């Protein structure tokens, strides 16, 4: 072997050894998240500004953190939404992730059992100013006077609208804006007109293998009637005219074929893109995705997409269902370097709140919400009232995801006609209150 070749191999070996040493010198923490998997498109992307959608942006954010951090490496565990069965199993096995994404509605279930680390002092030391939390974010992550999570967003219920189909149905004004219903009766009238003019249902809906959509729409209709169905956080009350109004409206939409049927979440997301109907009732997380779709030529949403808060159909209130994603540190025997790395990662997410807000979710920092960059994003001016009208269940209500499933099952049964409305509401109330009576 020549001297030059020996020098080459020696240099290469030294470089590999140095890189391995650098990797070994980093503290590894595990982060559990949902939001999907998209490594084929974003697996190596570190320029977050070039990513789109929830999966793309969160993947690029973690890639960027790993590329830039001198001390920490994040190992990502991707779980199916919502991931709480897996999280609970890992906690019971004694091997929880260092950090996990968590809906604010679920935090109380874990914090009340002493499973989450209070973050007040650690966030302050890391440079996260809790005074910059929006009111919604602060309320969502604060339990019993302590901060148990870093808020990541506020997300809520919207109407995604195909303006091309609305125009065909004669439901746009002189400026090309959608004409929105102002009452339940007006909604049904517009839905009939839309169906007659376009031959398609007014709504694209997620009605198969999904309970959350039923619950979020039903809760919104209750809030709009100024009905606080969890006035007592230990029990629900659906034995009211307001609950019957809401369930009856949903049943009428189904009975009159004003909605698509049999679509699961993936099918309904694609169905709206494909022009299956005029309105897709879904969340903030799809704003960026559909806005990008509308910029393409030759597709049903071409130059024909807008999004608005869920229209107020009752005279009581503009309130709309809302929740938030957040990041928690699980109680575990963390080493000092692991704890330091955990807060380093949380501070990074805090610093990149604007990038996550590009998904369509509302920012959790007042400074970001008030920034020119955020206000310049598409549709954000129309959505800003949701920072005031977005409404979550009271923090003291436990088992909120289990409640969501029960409520959704029973509202679905009423909507489809499997049960009459009164029976479905009575069963929902009974099942939820039995659950809460045994909640610890």
pLDDT, tens digit, for every residue of 130-188? 999 998 899 999 998 999 999 999 999 999 999 999 999 999 999 999 999 999 999 99
Matching CATH topology for 26-151+325-385 and 156-322+392-437? yes
Spatial distance between the Cα atoms of 377 and 287, rounded to a whole number of angstroms: 10
Name residues whose C-beta falls within 8 Å of residue 344's C-beta, 6 or more positions apart in sequence: 69, 71, 72, 126
DSSP state at residue 43:
T
The upper half-sphere exposure of residue 300, i.e. CA atoms within 13 Å in the direction of its Cβ, equals 16
Give the H or E element holding residue 143: strand 142-143
- pLDDT at res. 312: 97
Spatial distance between the Cα atoms of 284 and 322, rounded to a whole number of angstroms: 10
- pLDDT at res. 17: 46
Q: How many residues does the chain have?
A: 440
Spatial distance between the Cα atoms of 157 and 379, rounded to a whole number of angstroms: 14
pTM of the full structure: 0.89
**pLDDT digit string (tens) for 385-416?**
898 899 999 988 999 999 999 999 999 999 99
The residue extents of the domains of the chain are: 26-151+325-385, 156-322+392-437
Spatial distance between the Cα atoms of 336 and 416, rounded to a whole number of angstroms: 55
Name residues whose C-beta falls within 8 Å of residue 144's C-beta, 6 or more positions apart in sequence: 111
**pLDDT digit string (tens) for 308-320?**
999 999 999 999 9
What fold is seen in the domain 156-322+392-437? D-Maltodextrin-Binding Protein; domain 2 (3.40.190)
CB-count burial class (<10 Å; 0-12, 13-18, 19+) for 139: middle
Beta bridge partners of 390: 320
Please check whether residue 34 is in contact with residue 79, taking contact to mean a CB–CB distance below 8 angstroms. yes
- pLDDT at res. 4: 45
Q: Which CATH number fits domain 26-151+325-385: 3.40.50.12370, 3.40.190.10, 3.40.50.720, 3.40.50.300?
A: 3.40.190.10
- pLDDT at res. 360: 93
- pLDDT at res. 370: 93
Map residue 74 onto helix, strand or coil. strand
Q: In the chain, which stretches have pLDDT less than 50? A: 2-22
- pLDDT at res. 24: 62
- Would the CA dihedral through 9, 11, 14, 19 be positive or negative? negative
- pLDDT at res. 207: 94
Residue 221 neighbours by CB distance under 10 Å: 22
């Amino acid at each position: 072997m020549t001297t030059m070749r020996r020098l080459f191999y020696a240099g290469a070996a030294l470089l590999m050894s140095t890189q391995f040493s650098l990797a070994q010198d980093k503290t590894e923490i595990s982060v559990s998240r949902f939001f999907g998997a998209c490594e084929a498109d974003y697996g190596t992307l570190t320029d977050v500004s070039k990513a789109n959608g929830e999966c793309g942006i969160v993947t690029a954010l973690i890639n960027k953190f790993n590329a830039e951090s001198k001390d920490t490496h994040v190992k990502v565990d991707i779980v199916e939404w919502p991931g709480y069965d897996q999280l609970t199993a890992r906690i019971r096995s004694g091997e929880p992730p260092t950090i996990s994404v968590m809906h604010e509605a679920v935090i109380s279930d874990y914090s009340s059992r002493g499973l989450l680390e209070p973050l007040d002092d650690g966030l302050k030391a890391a440079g996260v100013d809790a005074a910059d939390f929006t009111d919604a974010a602060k309320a969502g992550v604060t339990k019993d006077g302590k901060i148990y999570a870093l808020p990541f967003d506020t997300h809520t219920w919207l109407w995604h609208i195909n303006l091309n189909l609305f125009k065909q149905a004669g439901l746009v004004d002189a400026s090309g804006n959608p004409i929105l219903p102002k009452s339940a009766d007006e909604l049904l009238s517009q839905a009939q007109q839309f169906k007659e003019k376009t031959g398609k249902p007014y709504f694209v809906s997620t009605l198969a293998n999904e309970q959350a959509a039923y619950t979020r729409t039903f809760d919104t209709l209750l809030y709009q009637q100024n009905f606080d169905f969890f006035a007592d956080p230990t029990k629900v009350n659906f034995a009211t005219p307001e609950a019957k109004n809401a369930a009856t409206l949903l049943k009428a939409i189904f009975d009159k074929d004003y909605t698509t049927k049999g679509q699961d979440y993936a099918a309904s997301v694609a169905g709206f893109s494909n022009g299956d109907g005029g309105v897709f009732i879904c969340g903030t997380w799809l704003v960026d995705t559909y806005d990008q779709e509308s910029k393409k030529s030759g597709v049903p949403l071409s130059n024909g997409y807008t999004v608005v808060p869920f229209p107020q159909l009752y005279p009581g209130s503009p309130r709309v269902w809302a929740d938030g994603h957040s990041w928690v540190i699980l109680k575990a025997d963390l080493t000092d370097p692991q704890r330091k790395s955990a807060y380093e990662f949380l501070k990074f997410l805090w610093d990149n709140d604007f990038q996550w807000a590009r998904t369509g979710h509302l920012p959790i920092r007042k400074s970001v919400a008030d920034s020119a960059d955020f206000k310049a994003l598409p549709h954000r001016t129309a959505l800003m009232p949701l920072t005031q009208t977005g409404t979550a269940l009271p923090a003291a209500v436990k088992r909120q995801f289990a409640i969501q499933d029960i409520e959704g099952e029973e509202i679905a049964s009423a909507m489809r006609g499997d049960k009459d409305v009164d029976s479905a509401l009575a069963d929902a109330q009974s099942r939820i209150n039995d659950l809460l009576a045994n909640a610890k």
